[in-house]
Homo-oligomer: A and B are copies of this chain.
């Protein structure tokens, strides 16, 4: 199994990455490895609005897997089978994400895929890219146990002191509305730090409202 490409996103670290694709309008771009960086290999892909990315959970370093895991959605205190969840801690560390294909740009003869909604850390290795085909991939009436509905969103407010551009604020709001805190933590005193798109973001959560207290460029 070879790495064919890498995705670049604003997430330099795992903390804050949405737990599924499409939950926040995060921008990213896919660069192919030299052997696969051929515009012919993506010919016709521009006619598709969405693509599948099959990728490697490269942030997981442990080799062992456990038959059960505790999904963050269930408060981190209920066990489910590893194959009944989308946990990264799987026998083969394969991730599956559907992202919107915004555009394909050819730069100096090399194709770059601009995508929206990726749930991956910057530099994540990719094994395969496939077009999303709704008649076979979209099972709108599927029943999905504990993962039936989108996770509840948390309200996000920005402290008046915070200065940043509106587009960044919008994307950041969508990311933070997912509540990136570990599910077992609820400490209203604690200040959390998260890096996104070259900025360090500090926030706290008090009575179910997430307040961004500082956004500063990473030096």
CA distance A68 to B149 in the complex (A): 39
**A43 interface hit (Cβ, 8 Å):** yes
Interface with B: A75-83, A153-161, A165-173, A205-213, which one?
A75-83
**A2 interface hit (Cβ, 8 Å):** yes
Are A81 and B43 touching (Cβ within 8 A)? yes
User: Which among B47, B79, B91 is the interface contact of A36 at CB below 8 angstroms?
Assistant: B91
Encode contact with B along A10-31: 1 for CB under 8 Å, 0 otherwise.
Answer: 0000000000111100000000
Interface set, chain A 137-170, CB cutoff 8 A to B: 137-150
CA distance A125 to B82 in the complex (A): 18
Are A42 and B138 touching (Cβ within 8 A)? no
* Residue total for A at the interface (Cβ-Cβ under 8 A): 63
Interface set, chain A 25-58, CB cutoff 8 A to B: 36, 38-45, 47-50, 52, 54
Point out the residues of chain B lying under 8 angstroms from A39, CB to CB. 81
Are A127 and B94 touching (Cβ within 8 A)? yes
* Given the contacts A2-B91, A36-B91, A81-B43, A134 and B139 also touching, CB distance less than 8 Å: yes
Point out the residues of chain B lying under 8 angstroms from A138, CB to CB. 137-140, 142
CA distance A4 to B128 in the complex (A): 19
CA distance A79 to B45 in the complex (A): 12
Are A134 and B130 touching (Cβ within 8 A)? no
Point out the residues of chain B lying under 8 angstroms from A82, CB to CB. 41
Residues of A near any B CB (own CB < 8 A): 1-2, 4, 20-23, 36, 38-45, 47-50, 52, 54, 67-68, 79-86, 90-92, 94, 96-98, 127-150
Q: List 7 A-B contacts (CB under 8 A).
A: A47-B146, A86-B131, A94-B127, A96-B130, A134-B141, A135-B148, A137-B138
